[in-house]
Structures are given as C-alpha cells and as structure tokens.
Structure 1
Amino acid sequence: MADGISSFWGPVTSTIEFCERNYAYSSYIAEFFNTISNIPTILLALIGLINALRQRFEKRFTILHISNMILAIGNMLHHATLQSGQQQSDETPMVWEMLLYMYILHSPDWHYRSTMPTFLFLYGALFAVVHAKVHLGIGFKVHYAILSLLCIPRMYKYYIYTQDPSAKWIAKWYVATLFLGSLCWFCDRVFCKEISSWPVNPQGHALWHVFMGFSSYFANTFLMFCRAQQLGWAPKVDHFMGLLPYVKINKPKTQ
C-alpha cells in the first residue's frame, strides 16, 4: 500500500501492491508482515525435505519441497522490495510448482515416461520467457487458476481411493487451510480500504502466506502417502512432536 515513503529499493515498480503500509518498520523491507510470513512455509518445506531424503522417497518429492522453499523465498523478495523484477521471482515459481504438482498427480497413469516431464519442462520454460518479456497481469492470475483447477479432480480421486483415516485427515487439513488462506486473501484484497481504517490491520495477506505454507505441506504429505501406497511401501502417518503429520514407510528389502 503506497504511502510515499522513500526506501532503499527506490520507487515501487511492482504491478500489484497489498494492504500493508510500505516501509513501516524498515527502509529495507517494503511490506514487513507479508515478507516474514513466508518463514513458516520455508520451515515446513525443510521438514518435508528432510523426511523425503531420510526415507529415500522419489526425487520428485525432494524437488517438490525445494520448489516450495524457492517459491517462499521469491515471495519474500517480492514483498520486501516491491520491484517488478522480484515480482517475476514470485510469480514464475508459482506456475512451475503447479506444473510439478500436475506431473506428480498424473505420472502413475502416463505410459510414456519421458514425454510428460519433457512437455511440462518446455511449457514452464516458455512461460518464464513470455512472462518476463510481456508481464501478463490478469492473464497470469487466470492461467494460474486454470492450472490449479486442473489438479483438483485428480486430488479428489486420490482422496476417495485412500482408505487410511489419518491420510484422509491430512487431505481435509489441506482443504481447510487452503480455504482459510483464500478467505484471508479475498478479504485483504477486496476490503483493503475499510481494513486500512481499523486501529489494527489483521494482515490478511500475511495470514494467506501462513495458511498456504501449511496447505502446501499437507498436500505434499498426502501425495507422499498416496505414492508410497502405489509403490507398496506400507505407508503410515506419524506425527512430529505429536503435532505435525508426516509419512513413515517400510520399503521391501528388494528395494
């Protein structure tokens, strides 16, 4: 939210701003709460990455958790600087991550192993070039929404074919945190003028980051469970410190 304050990064060049007063706490951080609210996403992705590496899950899940971290870091840079160049480091990884989800969701039924990842890689590279040269604006939002919607039917199919109650609860937490995060984003975006007059800004966009960090973690964990089932790894849900769910597997000795 522009307020005319000079900063280390210079004038705002990002095509979008959010409902938080710029440089309220530091001349180096444009939107303080929107920046630091990405930290939970990084920590959750790190936990998921350690679990994937420790139990030797497929590399796709290592890449998925790393992509969550890259997206969060890019988002931090965007909100900290509000520069158009850093906006690209936020929006392009968003699309790449959705393409990776599409690969993980559909790969078990893909008969030609190299065709799908090759197509998705070239699609992601082409998008990055086009989006860097011609900022898509509303086109980006529509494109991202379409990619997200394409994942829903497959995710639901995994849910209805999963019998484990604990795994189903992870999927429910994924949907719940996604809904709450989207509600925070919507209210922050639509009612910014009213919210700005309140004594305390609830920082809806920052809450969106936090909820989406948990939503991504739950989605990744659920997909790890489903994939382990497909591979016959006898997955079960355990909890880190009695709270955060993660997947434990028991690979056959031949693997």
Structure 2
Amino acid sequence: MAETISSSWGPVTSTTECCEQNYVYSSYIAEFYNTISNIPTIILAFVGLINALRQRFEKRFNVLHVSNMALAIGSMLYHATLQSVQQQSDETPMVWEMLLYVYILHSPDWHYRSTMPIFLFFYGAAFAAMHSVFQMAIGFKVHYIILCLLCTPRMYKYYIYTEDVLAKWLAKLYVITLVLGSLFWLGDRLFCKEISRWPINPQGHAFWHLFTGFKSYFGNTFLMFCRAQQHGWSPKVALLMGVLPYVKIEKPKSH
C-alpha cells in the first residue's frame, strides 16, 4: 500500500504486504493495526504460561506459551518495519511453533523419547538457516501446511476421545476462531483492490491476528486438558473471571 508518512525503516523489502496503508500514524510503524493486533496474543499466551507454571504442568507447555508470545512479537516487528529480515522473525517462529505442536501431539506414542525432540530441534534449526539465506516464500508455506496436516488427525483423535463437554467446547472454539481468522485473512488477500476503495478498511489481517491469538489459546488449553487426563490429574475446565477458560488440575498426593 502507498506510504503517507516518511518511513524510519527505509524502503519496503519484505516479500509480502497486507491491505493496510503504510505509515499512516507513525514513521516507526508501517502497518499500525497489523502491529497492535498481536498484543492480545501476547496477553493470552502470558495467561496460559502463568497457569502452566502455577499448576506445574510439564515444561513443554511453558515453552509452547512462550513460543506463542515470541511469534506475536516477531509478527509485530515484521508488520512495524516491513523489512525482509524481520519477516524471518515472523515466519520462522511459525514453523518452530508447529514443530512444537507436532511433538506435544505425538509424543505419547513415540517409543524413542529422546530421538523425536532432537530430530525436531535440528530440523527447525536447518529450516531457519535455509530460510534466512534463500528466503523460501513458497517453501515456507509448503512446510507450514504440511506441519498443520500432520497435527490435524491427532487433534481430532483427542477430540473424539474427550468426554468432558467443556473440554470439547475448547476444541470447537479452536476450530471456530481458526475458520473466522482464515476468512478474514483470505478476504484481505483476495479483495484488497476492492477494499482499498472502501471508506473504511475492515483490517482483515489484523482480525486474523486477533482470532489467531484466541485460536492458539483455546488449542493450548485443550491440549493441557488432554495431557492432564493422560497423567490422571483430574482436569476440569474453569473460567478466569467468569470469562476465559483455563484448565484446573488436582495431582494425586504422593505417599
């Protein structure tokens, strides 16, 4: 989109731009709404992290919530600057996060427990190195889609084997927010020329960020519930301040 204020970051070097005018409110923020719309993701991930630490969930969930925050911060840097270097800070953590989901979803059935995280770690490091050198626009998208497809059947399996009604609703909210966010993302990508002529831009990509934040939170909370069930921790879905769902557990007392 055309610039309206001089840029503090220089010319746009990222390979992708969204349907939002650049530098409308500040010379330091290229896409204002796409930048600030990542803040709810950081807040939700922080809430999830505090719950995981307070109830002493496995460290994998601490890392998962931190990765959500890191991804949102990387996205803010990218949309604020529209520089190719910062674009890597958005796209590479997306792949790393999906590798973490692959581990969490499939680790209960993995016979060689040390092999899987080592392989995923080196795979993620290799992808980051290649992406920084070759800026694989198509390769990034293909990797991300494949990793999502690897997670989908296992997520569905967890859903059909979950009997708790509120936990099932966490999975449903995950799907609902994912679908809504995807529709806003597609609309922003496919109809940008038409949207640019509207008196008010609906900021579809910013809504994608907003729904993605809730999608990640609902998905993480559902996985925490399922993992607590596997450990026999009697998980229940409670509401924080009567609104935000979280998992409450009761670990058996050690004798």
TM-score, structure 1 as length reference: 0.99
Q: Is the 8 A contact 2:4 2:23 kept in 1?
A: no
Look up the SS of the partner of 1:198 in the other structure.
coil
Aligned-pair distance for 1:95? Answer: 0.2
- Equivalences for 1:1-255 in 2 at 5 Å? 1-3=1-3, 5-254=5-254
Letter in 2 for 1:48: G
- The separation in 2 between residues aligned to 1:249 and 1:149, in whole angstroms, is 30
Q: Over aligned residue pairs, what C-alpha RMSD do you find?
A: 0.9
**What is the CA–CA distance in structure 1 between the aligned matches of 2:232 and 2:71, rounded to whole Å?**
31
Q: Post-superposition shift, 1:138?
A: 1.8
Q: Secondary structure at the match of 1:245?
A: strand
Which amino acid in structure 2 is aligned with residue 61 of structure 1? F
Percent identical residues:
76
* Structure 1 SS opposite 2:97: helix
Q: Distance in 2 between matches of 1:237 and 1:215?
A: 17
In 1, are the aligned partners of 2:24 and 2:32 still within 8 Å (CA)? yes
Query: Which string of whole-angstrom CA distances, capped at 9 and with x for unpartnered residues, describes residues 142-178 of structure 1?
Result: 2111111110000000000000000000000000000
SS, match of residue 140 in structure 1: helix
Q: Is the 8 A contact 2:170 2:222 kept in 1?
A: yes
1:202 aligns to what SS in structure 2? coil
Structure 1 ranges of 4+ moved more than 6 A: none
Contact 2:4/2:24 (8 A) holds in 1: no
User: C-alpha separation between the residues in 1 aligned to 2:24 and 2:30?
Assistant: 8
Amino acid at match of 2:82: L
Amino acid at match of 1:193: K
State the Cα deviation string for residues 47-80 of structure 1 (Å, max 9, x = none). 0000000000000000000000000000000000
The answer to whether the 8 A contact 2:3-2:24 is kept is: no
1:168-211 deviation digits (Å, cap 9, x = unpaired): 00000000000000000000000000001000000000000000
Deviations 1:18-73 (A, max 9, x none): 00000001000000000000000000000000000000000000000000000000
3-state SS of paired residue (2:206) = helix
Kindly provide the amino acid, as one letter, of the partner of residue 100 in structure 1: L
Cα offset, 1:4, TM superposition: 6.8
TM-fit CA distance, 1:139? 1.9
What amino acid is aligned across from residue 172 of structure 1 in structure 2? K
1:213 corresponds to which letter in structure 2? G
Task: Report the CA distance between 1:5 and its aligned residue.
Answer: 4.6
Structure 1 residue identity aligned to 2:22: N
Aligned pairs, number: 255
State the alpha-carbon separation in 2 of the partners of residues 149 and 107 from structure 1.
16
2: CA distance between counterparts of 1:5 and 1:26? 7
- Structure 2 gaps of 5+ residues are none
Normalising to structure 2: TM-score of the pair?
0.99
Secondary structure of the residue aligned to 1:237 is strand
SS of equivalent to 1:2: coil
SS in 2 for 1:239: strand
Instruction: Name structure 1 gaps, 5 residues minimum.
Output: none
Alpha-carbon separation, structure 2, partners of 1:207 and 1:76? 14
